[in-house]
Amino acid sequence: MPRDHRPVKSIRVLLAEDQGMMRGALALLLGMEADIEVVAQVGRGDEIVERALLARPDVALLDIELPGRSGLDAAAELRDEVPDCRVLILTTFGRPGYLRRAMEAGAAGFLVKDGPVEELAEAVRKVLRGETVIDPALAAAALGAGPNPLTARERDALSAAVDGATIADIAARLHLSESTVRNYLSSAIGKTGTRNRMEAARAARRQGWL
């Protein structure tokens, strides 16, 4: 439907996706819905809150793995800074740990990208009505997976170790002592059943714990 024939009150959507082609395609497809208007697009996680404060979307459609900042971290800040904006996570990575973290961050929905656009558009409408929308298969997997065993500090230490940083680098980055960092990493290695911090970081990422 042409934009000049849209309803007076369209659903205003912010779209955060780092792949330009995917972002453009989603914006085009959602924009074809009579009651949806994409009012902002960003390619980085650290741009989400700033743009949301300017555009005042009704729904923020966020990927998780974004440069600068994860969509999950941005979702938590949106809950505080733009409380009227509902968050819908749309990701390639349907990991149970991601779903749990998304719900903890205040997201109203979680979908994977292989669904039809009609399903996505309806999910946007549902979360705006106050409903929660979760991919059924992922919800079942999350129930069976159990909670994230890592503490916030253990997650921080593992995240800082992903790029092969040394203990000293991690300590400086997190403003902790080297012995404290070693303790966090040792605990995380034990909880993930791995042999070293790099294996632990990979295992935690596969589960969606980081």
Residue pLDDT tens, the chain, 210 long: 444 555 556 999 999 999 999 999 999 999 999 999 999 999 999 999 999 999 999 999 999 989 999 999 999 999 999 999 999 998 887 777 788 888 888 999 998 887 777 889 999 999 999 999 988 767 655 555 567 788 889 988 988 887 788 999 999 989 999 999 999 999 988 888 888 888 888 888 877 787
Is the four-CA dihedral 158, 160, 164, 167 of positive or negative sign? negative
How far is 82 from 57, CA to CA, in rounded Å?
A: 9
Q: Which residue has the tokens 């403003």?
A: 175
Distances (CA, A) of 19 to 1, 42, 44, 149: 26, 10, 10, 31
How far is 63 from 71, CA to CA, in rounded Å?
A: 6
CA dihedral 21, 121, 100, 98 (to 10 degrees): -10
In 3-state terms the chain splits into helix, strand, coil percentages (rounded to 5) of: 55, 15, 35
Task: Give pLDDT, residue 139.
Answer: 64
127 close to 85: Cβ distance less than 8 angstroms: no
How far is 112 from 94, CA to CA, in rounded Å?
A: 6
Helix, strand, or coil (residue 188) = helix
Task: Give pLDDT, residue 145.
Answer: 56
Distances (CA, A) of 124 to 139, 153, 161: 18, 34, 36
